[in-house]
């Protein structure tokens, strides 16, 4: 029974209209030719799978920075935050998480605190795995002050087939770590910019779970981690 409920997860409301559309097309395909209808059933099931929105258990200690996205850590580097956020030109630690089409695409707030600025920038739809996607692709950049007084940012970046970034946040809004705040459709990326002096606690190739995986700790003085495939 537990295995059944782990599969039958809730669907994000952004996916409801797509499920209705897929179901209607599937019905029409059955009327045209039954084998096509079964292909429609498969497509509808995939749509429900893509928009799944499972519950997560978020670590709640002050100072923890939590992954805002499911996916794989693509890079851990130093980079200048998006200019539109006005965070200066000094490079900061940046963690980039790539979501493929099979990952949960519901995004979650990485820390408890207050949203201080939101800036949407239209752009291209390059492969989100490319480094230049951070600057060239359509993006929604969000800056926040954590409850511990740290200045961080997280950026939703559209990918090659992503055509819609959804964010429900507003400037001045109080948020809790792990809260749902948006979704990006069909393959994309999340960049997290830490405050100066903070060190990432993840390494390239690790799998992230949105709302659960700790990616940094304001109180940690640990050196940046390295990883090995074993």
How much is the mean pLDDT over the chain?
Answer: 89
Of 28-32, 46-50, 62-66, 151-155, least confident by mean pLDDT is 46-50
pTM: 0.88
pLDDT band of residue 29 (cuts 50, 70, 90) is: very high
Q: Please name every residue paired with 65 in a beta bridge, in sequence order, or none if there are none.
A: 216
Distance CA 220, CA 230 (A): 26
64-217 fold = Glucose Permease (Domain IIA) (2.70.70)
Largest Cα span, the chain: 64
Backbone angles phi, psi at 74, to 5 degrees: -90, -35
2 pLDDT more than 50: no
Instruction: Write out the catalytic residue numbers.
Output: 188
Surface-to-core class of residue 138, CB atoms within 10 Å of its CB (0-12 exposed, 13-18 middle, 19+ buried): buried
pLDDT band of residue 4 (cuts 50, 70, 90) is: very low
Helices 16-32 and 34-50, packing angle to 10 deg: 170
Q: List pLDDT tens digits, range 48-58.
A: 888 899 999 99
Q: Please name every residue paired with 152 in a beta bridge, in sequence order, or none if there are none.
A: 144
Helix (H, G, I), strand (E, B) or coil at 46: helix
**Strand duo 165-167 + 151-158: pairing:** unpaired
> Which residue has tokens 């459709």?
185
- Residue 102 vs residue 213, higher pLDDT: 213
Q: Answer whether 156's CB lies under 8 Å from 43's CB.
A: no
pLDDT band of residue 93 (cuts 50, 70, 90) is: very high
Helix (H, G, I), strand (E, B) or coil at 94: strand
75-98 burial code (b ≥16 CB/10 A, e <16) = bbeebebbeebebeeeebbbbbbb
**Strand duo 92-99 + 71-79: pairing:** antiparallel
> Which residue has tokens 């850590």?
73
> Which residue has tokens 């952004």?
14
């Amino acid at each position: 029974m537990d295995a059944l409920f782990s599969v039958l997860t809730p669907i994000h409301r952004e996916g409801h209209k797509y499920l209705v559309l897929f179901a209607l097309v599937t019905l029409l395909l059955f009327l045209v030719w039954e084998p096509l209808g079964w292909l429609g059933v498969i497509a509808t099931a995939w749509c429900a799978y893509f928009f799944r929105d499972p519950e997560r258990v978020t670590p709640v200690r002050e100072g923890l920075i939590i992954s805002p996205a499911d996916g794989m850590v693509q890079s851990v580097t130093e980079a200048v935050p998006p200019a539109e956020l006005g965070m200066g030109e000094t490079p900061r630690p940046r963690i980039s998480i790539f979501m493929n089409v099979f990952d949960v695409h519901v995004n979650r707030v990485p820390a408890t605190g207050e949203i201080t600025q939101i800036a949407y920038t239209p752009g291209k739809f390059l492969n989100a795995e490319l480094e230049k996607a951070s600057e060239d692709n359509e993006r929604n950049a969000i800056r926040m002050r954590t409850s511990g007084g740290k200045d961080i940012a997280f950026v939703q970046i559209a990918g090659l087939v992503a055509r819609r970034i959804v964010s429900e946040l507003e400037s001045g809004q109080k948020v809790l770590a792990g809260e749902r705040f948006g979704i990006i459709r069909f393959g994309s990326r999340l960049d997290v910019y830490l405050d100066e002096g903070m060190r990432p606690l993840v390494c390239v190739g690790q799998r992230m779970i949105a709302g659960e995986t700790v990616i940094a700790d304001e109180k940690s003085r640990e050196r940046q981690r390295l990883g090995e495939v074993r």
